[in-house]
Structure 1
Amino acid sequence: MALPPTPALVVFGLAAVALALFASEAVPPDVAAIGVLVALYVLRPWTGVDADTALVGFANPATVTIVAMYVLSEAVRQTGVIEHVGDAIEAFAHGSDSRLLGAVVGTTSLSAGVVNNVPVVAVFVPMVTDLASRARRSPSAFLLPLSYAAMLGGTLTLLGSSTNLVVSALAADALGRQIGVFEMTPVGVLVLVTGVVYLLTVGRRLVPERVSPSATLAETYGVSARLARLEVREGSPFAGQRLDDVRATVSDAAVDVAVLQLSRDGERYLATRTDETVGPGDTLTVRGNLQAVNEFATEYDLRQLPRQTVSTRDLHLREGRGNLVEVVLPEGSRFVGDTVREANLAGYHNAVVLALKRGDDVRSDGIADHRLAVGDTLLLQVRERNLAELVENLDVVVTRGVGPSQSPETEPEPVFDRETTLVLGTVASVVGLAAVGVLPVVIAALAGVVVVTATDVISPTDAYGAVSWNVVFLLAGIYPLGVAARDTGGAAWVAEQLAATSSVLPIIAVLAVTYLVTAALANLVGNAASAILMTPVAVDTAASVGAETLSFVLAVLFAASTAFLTPTGYATNLMVYGPGGYEFGDYARVGLPLQLLLTVVTTAGIWVVYGV
């Protein structure tokens, strides 16, 4: 087997570094992608990537379309129509687990076919968690199927997933055109139906119920054993200080203790923002392990009260002034990449991080230097108005507890008011105009953004804030790597290895191998990277074996869009990882049979509809 040319080896080396960084999360993926972009240009004598090529991802129609679709998805979210869907699902389920699961999977998948599937899941997670709680069922039973359904629905149309748009853009030269909005729909419907049937039958028996439906937030995070009450003595240096100054002093100290609130004469005050002055006899509620609390009490002359006098009920302030809530960090959250200390939620948002969870790993001690990532779940003590700001800025998604949308003062909105009708009509027009070819997808999507912003349905600030810029930079940064793999002959070399299997396998089997390789990459390093790296390979493989180019391109598209085996394979998997309390292996347990089933179904569907 001949080695690839030297330029291709250089590109392969950069690809290996990028994949290692993505898998290890040593640096944020978008930063790694921009680093690859810079390296491609610096090594241009071998990669052939000049400045224009290095920046082509930023000017690519796929990138611009993704930005526009994030804005349109946010406009749909702000209408509140999804909340009405939740009410309809609850009424339909009427206490039946099967009907609840069917309604969740059905509505999620259909919604994700038109609106980008990541924002869909961000809206559905708290709704599904609440519905599961009302039905006295574990949210774990529904959240993983929710993620899988969103991925399946994303294969219905070109607009359902950013991966679809990237593959279409990369393959445009080889195909002589972009993939049509509904061109993938026949196989997408087959994939969706197969996946839904699996989730409602075999899959539901494999999904573990990791979170007890009766478990309180305190029990889930084990914070009760980490709470203590300390009485302020006459000689304490805290006596006479403002409570928020006390909290800041303790936060800067080496001891791992957090001051949560002050109690005096039956009244409680949050430590993050108050003008109250600490006095002798006042009681401080703190979070910390036994050793840390002992050291803290000794250093600041505080008297420890019996731990059994502390209850997490004490952390709920009266009149809705403060509550315990569980939140998950979605894609695009400002806090992703920061440590808990750097995020400074207490200082900026009056929110104290009591504990955090990544998958089944729960931590309540030593969390200040924990670096936050997409999908991390936090237990917060936070005022409702501050929580509303965090939710509105798309920095967190409330999964359990009292969120701002659940406030009893909130009056029910009509299902179809002027704004809802305008937004849904705009989205339908974008899809329709792009589908019939009146406008290119990117122009139709931008026109939709103009409509919803010019009519004040969504403010320009909210529109910019709705975009997951880390995703945009990830795609734009890694895009030239695919171009370089194609132009240096690297993609052709990999394609030759795949094509060599055609000497012993029929072409449809080579198509299945292409699907499996892409799926494996997607589960290891993410859907975007696998799509960008494998699309040029698919084009060259089709040319090498004399097959239909569109069929091999669609194999990559479907495989990259359905990464079921790991929580890191797709953003929606990460978003349900913490709230569902899943273990890493749960994804393979539920997803492997589905991945293998769809390998057969997708390959056969492509063969029947598009030929090979």
Structure 2
Amino acid sequence: MTYEIGVVLSVIAVAVVLFVSEKLSIDTTAILVMSLFMVLGILTPAEGLAGFSNPATITVACMFVISTAIFKSGALSSVGVLLTRVGRRNYLLCLLAVMLVAGLLSAFINDTAVVALLMPVVIQVARDTRISPAKLLMPLSFGALLGGVCTLIGTSTNILVSGIAEAQGEAPIGMFELTAAGVWFLIIGVLYMLLAGRFLLPSRKLADDLTDDFNMGDYLTEIVIQPESPSAGMPLSSSSLVQNLDIDVLQITRDKYLLNATPYTMLRVGDVLKVRCDVEKLKKMKEEKGIKLKSERKLKEEDLNNTSTKLYEAIVTPNSYMVDKSLKQLDFRAHNHGATVVAIRHRDEILHEKLTHTRLSAGDVLLIAADKDQALNLRNNEDILLISETERSQYDYSKIIPVLLIGAGVVFTAATGLAHIVLSALVGVVLLVLTKCIRLDELYKAIEWKVIFMLAGVLSMGTALEKTGAAGLLSGFLVDSIGSYGPHALLSAFFFITFMSTNFMSNNATAALLAPIAIVAAKEMGVSVRPFLVAVTFAASLSFMTPMGYQTNTMIYGPGNYKFVDYLRVGTPLNILFWLLASLIIPFFFPF
């Protein structure tokens, strides 16, 4: 082992630890690794920064824009209506429809956008039919993952592996090259969920309203300002009520008139305040604070919904600016016109206190009290996804035909070989802008920059592995250990290593690490590189065992009220099934 190989393997080992532990965000870790390779002299600046100009990175950025344009045009709005009609008839039919619709859309549109589109519809169908959302949200995510492996543009991972292959002298993956094998994985995945997986899904009780769902009984109440209260005559933000207690005022009733609770609202004696707080603490402090509980009855969702204020659920999206920040840092209430977070569902726990100081994570569900205007602002906030109602932003239906024609043109030109995928995607984005199907500000917002920086960073790992010979060292070890059992065994090993790794770290990072090794291993055995690349591509996207394995799994974690063990129970048999079948399906369509 040379010094350079030792440095590369050491840096990658640190990167894997950071990816798994999430001490740093994935994109930060990727850029850190890229910088270390350049500082340590493993890569030149040109080699280290090449990931930003790599066709795979640019293609992924373009596909984010095209997916957003399709989404915003309203071209998919009828899908939600159709799913609602089918879903209310029969649970099995609903499960089948959810997976197939998600799979079909994800073959051509970014899968996180597909889940964002369908999640509110699926949740509403579940509530209308009195089915736990947990029975449908995991099939939704799994369907999106399965559809993503059916085409080149189905996931960023497919495009990434294609770019790595092309950089090492192999032919890029064709637009529909993965389709034949991918459809088999989709069919098997759907059959598994219909015949076995649905029995493994949790059957958690459906709460009657959101206050029950978030255990808000002891945290929502009404109080009355008494004459002796030091808060009387003061602005809400400066009152001792807010300053000394962990309390959020949702609404003020004064002489039968409803007032918005702004920081500048002057409190008066006799004001009735609907508040979020620890009611038991409030009872102990009510006399000395000059406040009185209006009644001992705990507020329910209907008590709020009968006024101008309603409760809404919103999920923090995977690439949201809000991730790793607190509500106080974000100044959430001010930036959302007074909308107030009254509870947070974080993984397996529900938080009610010290909410403003809680650091948010992707997948966290916020319970927000807001009026109609505030809800409209929340619906247009691209850092969160409102999931408690199916009403969406207004669409410009006049853009549907040009958007679909441009999208179809991108697919057609790439599929027929008239243009490289990066060129067809770039031209498609330019046409979308020229035809005013998407504005420039919407274009920049559509690109998930964390993903772009992460891709640019992880590509440097593949370059370092190949340049220093580390890929050859690792592939030699695998060939010596497993190659004697034949290429089927080695392919099976790559599939296993990839899907196990991607369940605990970024799927793109996993693919960037293993694709170069797979290429070298295939060449050492004297067999075709293609089946090994396809194995890494499929396994990196088919991540079912953990909520952090893929962004869509993270998105459904909170809304489905899942626990970590739910993913293990439902996803592990499916991953093992695919592992066993991969050594048969992949070589059949991609011979050695």
The answer to whether residue 90 in structure 2 is matched with residue 96 in structure 1 is yes
**Is the 1:387–1:403 contact (alpha carbons within 8 Å) kept by the matching residues of 2?**
no
CA distance, structure 1, for counterparts of residue 69 and residue 489 of structure 2: 43
The answer to whether residue 212 in structure 2 is matched with residue 233 in structure 1 is no
CA distance, structure 2, for counterparts of residue 65 and residue 16 of structure 1: 29
Answer with 298-307 or 226-235: which moved more: 298-307
- 1:83-137 CA-partner distances (Å, limit 9, x unpaired): 3112112323442111111111111101000112121111111111112122221
CA distance, structure 2, for counterparts of residue 344 and residue 122 of structure 1: 25
Name the SS for the 2:252 alignment partner.
Answer: strand
Partner of 1:167: 161
How many residues get paired? 591
- 1:22-58 CA-partner distances (Å, limit 9, x unpaired): 22222222222222222222212xxx21211221111
CA distance, structure 1, for counterparts of residue 450 and residue 287 of structure 2: 45
Partner of 1:338: 325
CA distance, structure 1, for counterparts of residue 113 and residue 175 of structure 2: 19
How far 1:296 moved relative to its partner? 6.1
Q: Which amino acid aligns with 1:159?
A: I
CA distance, structure 2, for counterparts of residue 10 and residue 151 of structure 1: 35
The answer to whether residue 256 in structure 2 is matched with residue 256 in structure 1 is no
CA distance, structure 2, for counterparts of residue 184 and residue 403 of structure 1: 34
How far 1:434 moved relative to its partner? 0.6
| CA spacing shift, 1:483–1:302, aligned 2, 3 Å | same
How far 1:433 moved relative to its partner? 0.6
Partner of 1:267: 257
Partner of 1:179: 173
- 1:124-181 CA-partner distances (Å, limit 9, x unpaired): 1111111212222111111001101101000000000001111111111334331111
The answer to whether residue 385 in structure 2 is matched with residue 405 in structure 1 is no
The answer to whether residue 307 in structure 2 is matched with residue 313 in structure 1 is no
Partner of 1:129: 123
- 1:487-515 CA-partner distances (Å, limit 9, x unpaired): 12222111112111345422101100000
| CA spacing shift, 1:214–1:369, aligned 2, 3 Å | closer
- 1:463-497 CA-partner distances (Å, limit 9, x unpaired): 21122111111221222122112212222111112
Long gaps (5+) in structure 2: none
Name the SS for the 2:429 alignment partner.
Answer: helix
1:358 to 342, 346, 366: 346
The answer to whether residue 140 in structure 2 is matched with residue 146 in structure 1 is yes
Name the SS for the 2:342 alignment partner.
Answer: strand
1:73 to 46, 67, 70: 67
| CA spacing shift, 1:79–1:250, aligned 2, 3 Å | farther
The answer to whether residue 533 in structure 2 is matched with residue 553 in structure 1 is yes
| CA spacing shift, 1:238–1:74, aligned 2, 3 Å | same
1:5-16 to 2 correspondences below 5 Å: 5-16=2-13
**Is the 2:379–2:392 contact (alpha carbons within 8 Å) kept by the matching residues of 1?**
no
Q: Which amino acid aligns with 2:364?
A: D
CA distance, structure 2, for counterparts of residue 220 and residue 573 of structure 1: 21
1:87 to 65, 69, 81: 81
Partner of 1:495: 475
CA distance, structure 2, for counterparts of residue 601 and residue 424 of structure 1: 36
How far 1:71 moved relative to its partner? 1.0
Q: Which amino acid aligns with 1:536?
A: P
| CA spacing shift, 1:125–1:93, aligned 2, 3 Å | closer
**What is the TM-score when the length of structure 2 is the normalising length?**
0.95
**Is the 2:483–2:489 contact (alpha carbons within 8 Å) kept by the matching residues of 1?**
no
CA distance, structure 2, for counterparts of residue 386 and residue 60 of structure 1: 42
**What is the TM-score when the length of structure 1 is the normalising length?**
0.92
Name the SS for the 2:566 alignment partner.
Answer: helix
How far 1:386 moved relative to its partner? 3.0
- 1:319-338 CA-partner distances (Å, limit 9, x unpaired): xx432111111132221221
Partner of 2:29: 32
CA distance, structure 2, for counterparts of residue 295 and residue 476 of structure 1: 56
CA distance, structure 2, for counterparts of residue 117 and residue 499 of structure 1: 35
Q: Which amino acid aligns with 2:315?
A: V
The answer to whether residue 508 in structure 2 is matched with residue 520 in structure 1 is no
Answer with 360-369 or 548-557: which moved more: 360-369
Query: Matched residues, percent identical?
Result: 32
| CA spacing shift, 1:78–1:232, aligned 2, 3 Å | same
Partner of 2:46: 52
How far 1:297 moved relative to its partner? 4.2
CA distance, structure 1, for counterparts of residue 251 and residue 269 of structure 2: 15
Name the SS for the 2:222 alignment partner.
Answer: strand
Partner of 1:485: 465
The answer to whether residue 278 in structure 2 is matched with residue 278 in structure 1 is no
Long gaps (5+) in structure 1: none
Name the SS for the 1:525 alignment partner.
Answer: coil
2:417 to 418, 437, 447: 437
**Is the 1:227–1:307 contact (alpha carbons within 8 Å) kept by the matching residues of 2?**
no
Partner of 1:385: 373
CA distance, structure 1, for counterparts of residue 261 and residue 365 of structure 2: 22
| CA spacing shift, 1:465–1:362, aligned 2, 3 Å | same
CA distance, structure 1, for counterparts of residue 474 and residue 284 of structure 2: 61
| CA spacing shift, 1:133–1:477, aligned 2, 3 Å | same
CA distance, structure 1, for counterparts of residue 223 and residue 171 of structure 2: 70
CA distance, structure 2, for counterparts of residue 462 and residue 250 of structure 1: 41
How far 1:183 moved relative to its partner? 1.1
- 1:169-220 CA-partner distances (Å, limit 9, x unpaired): 111133433111111111111111111111221111111123x334311111
Partner of 1:223: 216
CA distance, structure 2, for counterparts of residue 327 and residue 94 of structure 1: 24
**Is the 1:226–1:287 contact (alpha carbons within 8 Å) kept by the matching residues of 2?**
yes
**Is the 2:231–2:241 contact (alpha carbons within 8 Å) kept by the matching residues of 1?**
no
1:22 to 11, 19, 22: 19
Partner of 1:374: 362
Partner of 2:404: 424
For the aligned residue pairs, the C-alpha RMSD in angstroms reads: 2.1
